[in-house]
Structures are given as C-alpha cells and as structure tokens.
Structure 1
Amino acid sequence: MSTSSKSTPTSILKRSKNLRGRLSELSQTPTKVRFKLPHSQKVRNILESYIQTKVTRDYGNLLCLIRDGELTDDDISALLKEATECISILTQELRLFVEVLLSVKWTDKKKSVVSEYQGFVVNLLSAHNYHARMVIDKLVQLFLPGPTEPDWPEGIPTDEDHAKLANVHTLLNVLITVIPMCKELLMTSATSQFPYYNKSTHVHEYYVHNLLWILEYQPKFRQDVLYLILSKLVILDVNAPREEIQKFAEDEDIFSMDDTKSVKSLKSSTTAFTQVNRLVVADTLDICLDKLFNYIIDECHDSSSGEVDWEKLKKLYHEIIPIFDKLILPTYDTHHVQYVMFLMCCLKSTVAEAFLNYLWKKVCNPNVPRVLRQAAVNYIASLLARANFITLALLKSVLTQIAEWIHMYISNQDSLECVNVDLRVHGVFYSICQGLFYIVAFRHKDFAGTKKGISFLGSLNMGKIITSRLNPLRVCQPAVVQNFAAITRQYQLAYCYTVIEHNARNTMPMIYQDEKGSVMMSNNVLDAYYPFDPYVLERSSKKIQPFYRDYHEELLKEEMEVDLNGKEPDVDDFLYNNDMSSPSNSKTMKFSYGTSPGFKFKG
C-alpha cells in the first residue's frame, strides 16, 4: 500500500495511457490511497463481479479502456495473459469482452505479443467453440487493408504487409487443424466479406491475395476458394465490357486533361444504387486475374525443374471444370474471366483436347439446355480460331466431327415435308454451322499451303451445307458469312454468293408469340459472341499473348466485271458490306479487335 500527500484528483477528461494505471482507476476511491493489485486479480474481479451482479460500470469501463486506449506492446501482452487465466469464465455472457479483446491490433506487434494473442485464441476456442464464428470473422477482416495503406508496387506485398498477413494465416491454419468447425466458418466468412465490386483495386487485390494464400496450407479449400474468386470476377467482368475499355482508352487521347467533366461522364456509369467507374473496375479485374493466372502457372509447374507437372495440372483442371460449367459457361458476354480455361489449355495440348471433348459432348447432348449448347459451340469455335497451340491434327479432328454432325442433321431434316428457317427450332444447328464457317475463315491458311490441306477442306462438303433447305447463311452473322464466302470461293470449295443475294432479297423479320403470349419480333440472325475475342487488359495479357493468334489483315482481290452498259456486276461477285450490297471496288477484310465475332469491313 502506498500513499501520496500531495497528489491531486485525476481529471475525468484526461485518459491515462498506461493500462496498469487505468485498471487501478476503475476501482479507485475518492481517498488518496492507491492500492496496487495484480492485473490478473483485477481483471478477474471485474469480470466475476459483472457475472454475479450484472452491474456494468466497471465492466463497461474495462471494455472502453481496451477499445479506446493507446495500448503498448507490454500492455497488450499483460492483458492477454490475464485474459488467458480467465478462459474458464469467458462464456457467452462475456461476449463483448471477448470481442473487444479480439479487436486489439496485434498483427504488427513484436513476436511475444503475437504469440500471446495466438495462444489466447486457440485456448479460447478449445474451451468455448461458440466464439469460433466471431474469431474467424475477425481474422478474415484482416484480409482487407486499412483505409490509409498504400497500394502494392507491381502487386507484390511489402515486407511489412507480408509479415502481418503471415501472422494471420499461421493462426488460421492452427484453428482449422485443431477445431474442425472452423473450416465451414472460414468459407462462409470469406464469402460474406468479399469486397463489393466497386471497391478500390487495392482492396480486391489484398483480399484475393489472402484467399490464394489459404491454399498454400489448406489445399482442400481450393475448389471453394476458386469458385468464390471467379464468381466475383465474373461480376467485375460484366461491369467492364471490352468495348467500353477500348472506348475509354480512345477518349483519353481525344479529350484534354482539363476537360475532366467530359472524361468523367464517359468513364462512369450510374446504376440504380451507385455510380461505377468502369476504368477502375477494369483495372481491378486486370490485377485480380493476373494474380489468379500466376497462381495457376505456379501451381501447375514443378518448382525445381520449372516444367509442367502433369499430375498437378490434371488435378487443377478437374477442379476448375465444374466451376466453368456452373459459373462461366452460363454467363453471357463475359470478356476475360473465361481465359482461365485458355491459360490451362495452353500449358499442355492434352488439356486443350480434353476441354474441346468436354464442350463437344455438351453440344451433342439433347438434354442440355439449348442456350448452353450454343455457348459451348462458341467456345469451341473461338478456341480453335484464336489458340496458336492447337495442333493441325486436333483442328482437323474437330472440324470433321462438326461437319459430320451438320450433314447428319441436314439428312434428318431433308426427310421432312416442311423445313423452316427458324432459330427457335434449329438454333443449335445454326450455331454449329456458324462455328464451322468461323473456324474455316480464321484458319484457312493452315490448309492452303498444300493440296492435301485443300483436299481436306473439300472433304467437309461445305457446298451441301450452304445449299441445304435450312439455309444457314441466312441466319449466320453477315461478317462471318462474307469472310467464309470469300475464302471458299478463293479455294473453289463452295459458292455462296447466289445464296447470299437471294437471302438479301428476303430479309423480312419473324413475328411470333413467346411463352407468355407477348408478340415478339426477331431478325432471325445469330448472336455474335465469341468468348476468346482479343484480350485487352494490360497486365494480365502478358500471360495470354504468347499463346494467342491475332488475325493478320489480308487483301482479297476479286476481278470485277462490268458490261459495256456500265451495269453492276452479277450476283456471283463478292459482297463485302454488312448490308449485303455489292461494292464497286475491292475492299479490305479485317478481323477487328472491337467487333465480335472478329470481322469488320471497311466501307
């Protein structure tokens, strides 16, 4: 016991920064006598007194002290030791005390404090597992950066951030191993706390980095974690369309820097709830995909030799395929997320073949919804056209399968008395035909160099396809039709222009009633969506570009014959424009970066 003859009462507005002194103040009497009690006894007395009497004065002051106090490393260490001695009484009645104690900033403290915190948490959940949800939520909250933390240079964590996060993941690993219920709680918490899509790029980067870190010590979570990441990246992807990204890049060159209002209006899009900067969303998607691509590449290569590890690649492929089937394939008009499959295919040709077989089985399965069968066709056509790692043997095999299916379908329809050109009835057939035309137009140079290659294209019997009663040239995208027509005419594989001219004179829209009885009107033309159209995100494109086939512009010249009266050429002349009108001069055909399916015609 000690006394002070000249001490003055402590002001109620002045906080003591020393934990030992503030704890003593909680029960200090107005007299000048100050008792120095052991901390463990003081904290235990306050907690037991609250449990017995429900008087919140001292208990509330204790909570405020921990929450608002500027605690030193020694203060935190002492407090954690005292709390550990009180583990047996930390029931649900003291949930607030536990929550405040768990909220103490600990990750950047010295090793002794970190060890004390980790030991307290493990002991707490071993004795009272009903605190597990709160503990996991607190740890997952640390997957998010503070509001003032700077961005990571080149997406690589600083040494300080790496050390802090390593402390979190060490504790998480122990909890998942020791307490089984933490496994389910971790994924639930990670899903609920994933940043909203319009949050800053660094917030997403920080969070995705931590989710992928979990897979280093808990690989059993991989499919769940990858599904979570990809599901959120799909949302980012649909909010950052390829065309918008390219348009914004052009706008930055057009508008001056001082015309900020005009630039902002072009970069932003307002929804019912918030305003979204699509450039920020695109940058976020770019950085997150880059991290995911790096993980896939690292995971599928042997760390010592640097060669592709087939067993690891095969295992990861089988884990991602269900995610692709459930999440990516049914989502219309994504632009970049699907390149996860492109990247995996480029690592080994066997994976590309397996992926194409998976897609083709889906196309041929009548029990699969029509929209998914058509989407699978687009994936097949786009992969074969754009991937430079597809072997010629595999390309021939797929083209043969496609052509055989088309001819079988045509034969079955020819036996019917009435055949209508109707996308609602023959949508899958037309999608497959368009896929065939698209592949031939893109990859014709692979066959044009040899007579054997031209002979193979001739064996596909494309002339019969374009002259069938189902008339696929009528419903395919005009750009695809015109490129296909030019190629097949050049190599004398088929002659499309008579059919094209006939279709140009019969462009009446189709009017029908939908399932709800509403009158609908359709132009009876297939959508132009090819999932592996050019990749325009800057950072992550470095993983894709070496394996990507760009279309190189070429000039196809046709001799235009004009009679003595100066009349237009006959219907057998090449048609370049999308509106099916005949040109007066030869034009340039180009696979465009901005227009799916990749064709563009200059007027």
Structure 2
Amino acid sequence: MSVISSRRRGRAPSSSTPSILKKPRSLKSRLSEVKTSVKVKFMLPHSQKVHSILEEYKDGTISRDYENLLCLIRDAELTDEDVSSLLKEATECISILNQDLRLFVEALLSIDWTGKSREVVAEYHSFVVNLLSAHNYHSKLVVEKLVTLFVPNATDVDWPDGVPTDADYRKCVNVHTLLNLLLSVVPMCKEILINFLTKKFPYYNKSTHIHEYYLHNLLWTLDYQPGFRQDILYLVISKLVILDVSASKEMIAKCTAEEEIFPMDDDSRSVRTCTTSTTSTIANSYALSNTLDVCMDKLFNYIIAECHSSEDGELIWDKAKALYLDLITVFDKVVLPTYDPQHVQFVMFLMCCLKPTIAEAFLNYLWKKMCNPNVARVIRRAAVNYIASLLARANFVPLSMLKGTLQQMAEWIHSYISNQDALESVNYDLRVHSVFYSVCQALFYVVSFRYKDLVRSKKNIIFLQSLNMAKMVTCRLNPLRVCQPAIVQNFAAITRNYQLAYCYTIIEHNARDKLPVIYDDDYNETTRDVTLDTYYPFDPYVLERSGKKIQPFYRDYEESPQDSMEVDETVSNQEEDDFLCNQELSSTPNSKINKFSYGSSPGFRFKT
C-alpha cells in the first residue's frame, strides 16, 4: 500500500471543501520519516539453489536469477550469519568459479568483512585461499581488493599520536593475515602486490590520515615479507620526495606563523575546500607539511624499531647493516639526484646516528661518488654538499672522522691544482671546474663551522696547517672568487686569526674584478652570477613532530661572545683596503649576508 493511500485512510471525513494550501512541515519531521523508513530484508538461497543458479548461468539458459543473486549480495544488508552462510555456499562451488563467474566472485570479495566476527573473518580467509588455489587468475582481483582496504573510509577518525584505534587495528590485522597466507600459497601474488601498492598510493594532496593509514599498512607488510623492503622503501621515499619539494621551508615557516594567529581547520578534508587564492595556498602548504611530518615520523619510527631490540632497546647490528644497504640503494636512485629536498634525506642522517661505522660508510660512499669521473658533475657536486653538511651538522661524527675527511678533501684539491698548474693556460669557467670549486667550498665550510673543535689543541692546529689552505686560496683557479660570500668572510677571519692563510688581499682583488659573465648556450645568451649554489642538505629540520628524533643528534651553530670579539679585532686590524672590501660585502641585502646558512638555517653572520 502506498504512502499516499495510508495517509488518506487516516484522515477523518469532512464535509467542508479542503483548502489547497497545506500546512508546511518542518525539516525535522521530514528527516524523521526518512530515518524510520522500513528496509527490505532479503532471504539468501540455500547452497543447492546457489549452485544451480551458477550452473544455469554458465550454460546460458537462465540469467535473471544470477543477476538477482548479484544484486542481493551487493545491495542487501547482510548480517554476520548471512555472510558466513553465503561464504560456505560459495566455497562448495569453488570448482566452477572460473572467469565466466567473475562478477559473482567480485561481489563476494566486495563484502564488508573486516569488521565482522572472528568466525566470519576465518570463513572469508578460507574462501579466498581456496579460490586462488583452484583459480589463480583471480589473483589480481583479490589483491586489488585487499590493497584498497589500506585506504581508510571517509568517516574513520584520525589516529591520536599516530597510534591506530582498536577497530582499525583489528581491520589491519585481518587484512595482513590474509595477505600473508596468499603470498605463501600463491607466489605470483608477490609481483601483483607490489604493482598495486604503487598504483593505489594516495595522491600527494590527499588528507593526512589517508597517507598515514596507507603508509602504516605499507610498512606493516615488511613484518612478514622482508624481501619487499627495498621496493617498499623506494615507493615510500619517492612519494615523500614529491611532498617534500611541494612544501618549502619558507612556506612551512609562514604557515606556522599563520597558524599561531589563525588556527587552521582540521586537514582531514581535502585542501581544495578553500575559496580565495591566498587562503588556498596557505591551507595547501599547511596540509602538505603536516602530511609530510606525519609520514616522516612513521618512517623514522620504522627505522628505529627495525634496528633495535624490542626488549632492551639495544642496537642489532646485522639488522641495522641490512637496512642501511637498502636505504643507500634508494638514496642513490631517488634522493641524491633530486635537487633541493628539504627533509627526506634525513633518513640517512638518522641511520648514521645509530653507529659511527654507518656514518663512515655513508661518507665513503659519497666520496667515491664524488671522485668518479664517470658520474655526472651535478651528482658529484651534490655528494660533496652532503659530505660537508653531515660533517658540520652531525654531533655524532667523531673528531678523527672529521679530520680524516678533511685530509682526503685537501689531498684531492692539491692534486687537482697540480694538474692545472702543469698546463700552459687555465680555463677559469665555473662550469668546467665546478666539482673542484664545490670541494673547495665544502672544505672552507667545514673548517669555518667546526673550527672550535679543530683549534682546541696544538696538535689539531698543526693538522690544519698541514692542509696547506694557503695554497688553495692562492692557486690560479682562485676558488674564493666563486664561493659563497658568507663562507669566504668567515673562513678568511678564522684562517687569519690562527695564521693558516691570508685571504683578504684576494678577496679585495676579486671584489674589484667581479664582472657579470655571459654564457652563450644553444638557445640564447644569458647572464649568470659566478657563484656556487647554496644548497646544504642537512640544514635545520623544521618539521616539529618528526624533528624530535633528529634534534638530539643535531648541531646548531652557536656564536660565542669571545668569537665575536676575536673576529671584530681581526677586522679592525685590517688595512684600509681590507676594510673597504669588508664594507662592500656588508652593503649587500641583509637577507643574503646575515646568515651562514641556506634556506632557513641559522649560521655564521657577517662581521661589520
């Protein structure tokens, strides 16, 4: 009986003519009618009926019953008892569930089973394992359905402090238990799983919780499939690099300042909900930085947990060594060729802090990369920057390792200078000698940053004298001409103070002789500055949540009052031309000279 007829039956007879105007109903009353609507309950057919329906469909005789069965499975609200009964009936029909019945199999796999009772979950696991054991061509469909469960529902709540809720934890356990069974029973699922993990990885502007949920499950797979680790790490770090380069340190700092004044809304919604362009930019950067922070924290937690014993927290050397080898492979393919990443490279920083042996191995890898003439120059220069930044910023690098690396760099520089001095003429083009200039700047940078550790004893001062830095700055290639002004000024003050080299005459000459350089390429003539780039990968880590794991091992540059007095005294004793040179340098914009840093890192300041 229709709703209209029932209403008419409940209306009292009236002799008066009804009005055409009806009393308006409230929204509350209309919503109550929707909520109280009666849902239809379907009855599942017994097993013999299901078997006969499937057989008749395969024979091509009756298709309506098959279509009704599919609609029943997809649309009806199935209880635990219904699902268990249906899975048992489907298990009895395993032998005939070939590709012709793909829609029926897909409907069964789409049942919401992860939150059901243990009996239903066990029945589902049994059905899937038996299905793939008999018909492995359903493997792609099964694995795709399972990987789709790595993405949370839109109504799921966020995880407090990155810890899954009890309900989400149970769901994840059920999914990974089944995946582990399938990978052991059907080996071909391994390659299929890697492909779908890559395909289903969330787009970079999805919500933080989606990325956190998916990354949590990705790393979970490594518990029972450690052979996937290099592929999983490659996938994760590649995706995090996209997030990293999309959220610069300057924008993160701006978003932090904006948040202190105007707190952002929860980022579980898509970042596309913003209206104005300015608000959209700020909200987008805030969401990206927050997502990157959460994901980096997850990755750091995995590294720490994988390398340490869960009982006493002691370092397990074999596991740490194996993880380093996987990470260095991914670093070589993804991170090192990437220009100006801000945070992802700190996975290597965290690995190096576990044991000095790992830090030494990482430095040796970078140095071999730099010395290899078959490697692209841009990669060799990046390797030098990583060496310099690690030596300057890592407080776990011992003094012996620091001195040994500086000795290697000095020997390479002097060998390069000797080869150039043997030539009748020298090409001073920065592009030709970019690797040499990068190594020189790296040495000047490390000496300037770590000079307090290098001048504490007479023995260390003698070591600095043995580097023969005076020959470096006075060679025909003139590295002070192309190094960053902040590095040059601090290096000059320190080397003069400890009588290691005298740079001010060369600085003055370079200041007078500095002219713009025009490079004629294949397209057009472009004017470029004759200065090396300013990227040092281990400049300060600005993400708050994951940065807590980096800060205990990180060295910030702190300038003491005694240092200021010494440098000021050195500058005041300069000749008139030296003072003019220093004044000319200090007349540049403050944003370029008040920091011995690159990006947002604090560091050495110019003395005026």
Distance in 1 between residues matched to 2:312 and 2:262, nearest whole Å: 50
What does residue range 326-337 of structure 1 map to in structure 2 within 5 Å? 326-337=333-344
Change beyond 3 A, Cα 1:171–1:488: same
Distance in 2 between residues matched to 1:109 and 1:304, nearest whole Å: 33
Distance in 2 between residues matched to 1:560 and 1:444, nearest whole Å: 16
Distance in 1 between residues matched to 2:475 and 2:601, nearest whole Å: 26
CA shift digits 1:228-255 (9 cap, x unpaired): 1111111111111112111222344567
1:311 Cα deviation after fit: 1.0
Residues 47 and 59 in structure 1, CA contact (< 8 A), matched pair in contact too: yes
Q: Please point out which of 518, 523, 534 is paired with 1:528.
A: 534
SS at match of 1:288: helix
Distance in 2 between residues matched to 1:123 and 1:115, nearest whole Å: 12
CA shift digits 1:572-603 (9 cap, x unpaired): 338667x62579xxxx9654584469545488
* Mapped pair 1:490 → 2:490: no
Q: Please point out which of 576, 581, 586 is paired with 1:570.
A: 576
Change beyond 3 A, Cα 1:61–1:263: closer
Distance in 2 between residues matched to 1:483 and 1:184, nearest whole Å: 54
What does residue range 404-415 of structure 1 map to in structure 2 within 5 Å? 404-415=411-422
Q: Please point out which of 293, 302, 308 is paired with 2:309.
A: 302
The amino acid of 1:544's aligned partner reads I
2:552 maps to: 546
2:231 maps to: 224
Distance in 1 between residues matched to 2:432 and 2:75, nearest whole Å: 68
1:423 maps to: 430
1:46 maps to: 53
Distance in 2 between residues matched to 1:561 and 1:177, nearest whole Å: 72
1:500 maps to: 507
1:237 maps to: 244
1:247 maps to: 254
CA shift digits 1:393-449 (9 cap, x unpaired): 000000000011001101111111222321210000000001001101100000222
* Mapped pair 1:364 → 2:371: yes
CA shift digits 1:436-485 (9 cap, x unpaired): 01101100000222222222111111111111110111111111111211
Change beyond 3 A, Cα 1:560–1:455: closer
Residues 501 and 580 in structure 1, CA contact (< 8 A), matched pair in contact too: no
Residues 486 and 596 in structure 2, CA contact (< 8 A), matched pair in contact too: no
1:4 maps to: none
CA shift digits 1:48-70 (9 cap, x unpaired): 12111264322222111111111
1:580 maps to: 585
The amino acid of 1:534's aligned partner reads P
- TM-score, length basis structure 1: 0.88
Residues 255 and 285 in structure 2, CA contact (< 8 A), matched pair in contact too: no
How large is the RMSD of aligned CA atoms in angstroms?
Answer: 2.6
1:553 Cα deviation after fit: 2.7
Distance in 2 between residues matched to 1:440 and 1:503, nearest whole Å: 22
1:487 Cα deviation after fit: 1.6
1:518 maps to: 524
Of the structure 1 ranges 106-115 and 499-508, higher mean CA displacement relative to structure 2 is found in: 499-508
Distance in 1 between residues matched to 2:371 and 2:201, nearest whole Å: 38
The amino acid of 2:533's aligned partner reads D
* Mapped pair 1:341 → 2:348: yes
Residues 487 and 596 in structure 2, CA contact (< 8 A), matched pair in contact too: no
1:35 maps to: none
SS at match of 2:526: strand
2:41 maps to: 17
The amino acid of 2:534's aligned partner reads A
Count of residue pairs brought into register by the alignment: 558
2:186 maps to: 179
1:500 Cα deviation after fit: 1.3
SS at match of 1:520: strand
Distance in 1 between residues matched to 2:263 and 2:110, nearest whole Å: 47
1:198 maps to: 205
Change beyond 3 A, Cα 1:214–1:262: closer
Residues 197 and 235 in structure 1, CA contact (< 8 A), matched pair in contact too: yes
1:558 maps to: 568
Change beyond 3 A, Cα 1:111–1:581: closer
SS at match of 2:153: coil
1:122 maps to: 129
CA shift digits 1:151-191 (9 cap, x unpaired): 00000001111111100000000000010100001100000
2:31 maps to: none
Change beyond 3 A, Cα 1:600–1:279: farther
1:262 Cα deviation after fit: 11
Distance in 2 between residues matched to 1:187 and 1:257, nearest whole Å: 36
1:518 Cα deviation after fit: 3.0
SS at match of 1:521: strand
Residues 176 and 221 in structure 2, CA contact (< 8 A), matched pair in contact too: yes
1:60 maps to: 67
Residues 385 and 442 in structure 1, CA contact (< 8 A), matched pair in contact too: yes
1:214 Cα deviation after fit: 0.6
Distance in 1 between residues matched to 2:109 and 2:175, nearest whole Å: 12
Of the structure 1 ranges 451-460 and 170-179, higher mean CA displacement relative to structure 2 is found in: 451-460
1:266 Cα deviation after fit: 4.7
SS at match of 1:390: coil
Residues 558 and 574 in structure 1, CA contact (< 8 A), matched pair in contact too: no
Change beyond 3 A, Cα 1:14–1:156: closer
Change beyond 3 A, Cα 1:88–1:330: same
The amino acid of 1:16's aligned partner reads V
Identity of matched residues, %: 64
Q: Which is helix-richer, 1 or 2?
A: 2
* Mapped pair 1:283 → 2:290: yes
The amino acid of 1:214's aligned partner reads T
Change beyond 3 A, Cα 1:84–1:446: same
1:146 maps to: 153
2:10 maps to: none
Of the structure 1 ranges 360-369 and 499-508, higher mean CA displacement relative to structure 2 is found in: 499-508
The amino acid of 1:580's aligned partner reads L
Uncovered stretches (5+) of structure 1, i.e. residues with no partner:
1-12, 24-38, 270-274
Uncovered stretches (5+) of structure 2, i.e. residues with no partner:
1-36, 266-272
Distance in 2 between residues matched to 1:142 and 1:256, nearest whole Å: 32
Residues 42 and 72 in structure 2, CA contact (< 8 A), matched pair in contact too: no
Residues 528 and 596 in structure 1, CA contact (< 8 A), matched pair in contact too: no
The amino acid of 2:373's aligned partner reads P
- TM-score, length basis structure 2: 0.87
Change beyond 3 A, Cα 1:561–1:147: closer
Distance in 2 between residues matched to 1:548 and 1:369, nearest whole Å: 30
The amino acid of 1:248's aligned partner reads C
Residues 573 and 582 in structure 1, CA contact (< 8 A), matched pair in contact too: no
1:378 maps to: 385
Distance in 2 between residues matched to 1:57 and 1:381, nearest whole Å: 73
* Mapped pair 1:89 → 2:96: yes
